[in-house]
Amino acid sequence: MKKANKLLMYFRKGSILKVNNQTRFHEMERRIRLKTLNPHITCKICRGYLIDATTVIECLHTFCKSCLVKHLEDNNTCPTCEIVIHQSHPLQYISYDRTMQDIVYKLVPNLQQNEIRRERDFYKRRGMPYPKIIPNNCIEKEAGSQSSSSKVEDCDYHRSDEQVNILLEAQSSALKQMRRKFIRCSAQVTVTHLKKFIAKKVFNNMDKYREVDILCNEEILGKDHTLKFVCVTRWRFKDPPLKLYYRPRLDLT
């Protein structure tokens, strides 16, 4: 594959050592060849490192987005395990895997910078504006420098996350309705984020977010659920938008 195979990666790892029957954490440095990780961070279709990592929701196998979408033009099965993803709409049951892509970009030197450079050239040659947000310093950085993924995180504001469409309505007249009920936001947003948003809009005070319950299919949602989790577990076979209701919190104690 690529030259990066030969590079050695360093991981700081807290490993557990047993000393005199006492278990304690000991920080050590372990060297791992990138080659040993390759089966986990490469695409089975093109055999390159994952780009726009996209996962089949049913079996959790991951491929490059473009490779998988192309495969699904003529098939409805997972290229790895051949499970039927969906009889007629397999594209609706795959999902951008930001965590996996972050891992790949962190592990493989310069992959992200090279990919952005390639995309920019693609649009430039066609005289089209580059449609994505360019991460800080990603282009200017020379080969061999450290990845700037923390900066990427900072300037991106989750715009490149998978997005979800939600409809947010007050369940009763106890709380006022949103002026704008249809919202599009990152699938990483948690129920608590959403409560803070509602508190800001309804009470004009974000600190009152604990006074709100959010429900999906009549069920109160846990505060740490992400909208991705809610979609997959509560709205899987329904059409978007994901319908959520809010109401004053019921104190059961």
Map the footprint of Zn ion across residues 208-247, applying CB under 5 A.
none
Between CA 196 and CA 15 the distance in angstroms is 38
Answer for which of 46, 57, 116, 232 binds Zn ion (CB under 5 A) is: 46
Give 42 or 190: the residue with its C-beta nearer to Zn ion: 42
Quote the tokens at residue 224: 């740490």
Neighbours of 174 (CB within 10 A): 9
81 binds Zn ion (CB under 5 A): yes
171 binds Zn ion (CB under 5 A): no
Answer for which of 59, 116, 167, 232 binds Zn ion (CB under 5 A) is: 59
Stretch that binds Zn ion, among 79-87, 93-101, 141-149, 196-204 (CB under 5 A): 79-87
168 residue type, one letter: L
Stretch that binds Zn ion, among 25-33, 61-69, 211-219, 226-234 (CB under 5 A): 61-69
Give 92 or 192: the residue with its C-beta nearer to Zn ion: 92
Residue 241: cis peptide before it, omega within 30 degrees of 0:
yes
Mapping DSSP to helix (H, G, I), strand (E, B) and coil, where does residue 219 land? strand
- The site that binds Zn ion (CB under 5 A) totals a number of residues, namely 10
78 binds Zn ion (CB under 5 A): yes
What's the DSSP call for residue 80?
Answer: T
191 residue type, one letter: V
61 binds Zn ion (CB under 5 A): yes
Give 61 or 86: the residue with its C-beta nearer to Zn ion: 61
Question: How far apart are CB 3 and Zn ion at their closest, in Å?
Answer: 19
Question: How far apart are CB 201 and Zn ion at their closest, in Å?
Answer: 41
Q: How many helices (H) and strands (E) does the chain have?
A: 7, 10
Question: How far apart are CB 83 and Zn ion at their closest, in Å?
Answer: 5
67 binds Zn ion (CB under 5 A): yes
Query: Cα Rg for the chain, rounded, in angstroms?
Result: 22
Residues that bind Zn ion (CB under 5 A): 43, 45-46, 59, 61, 64, 67, 78, 80-81
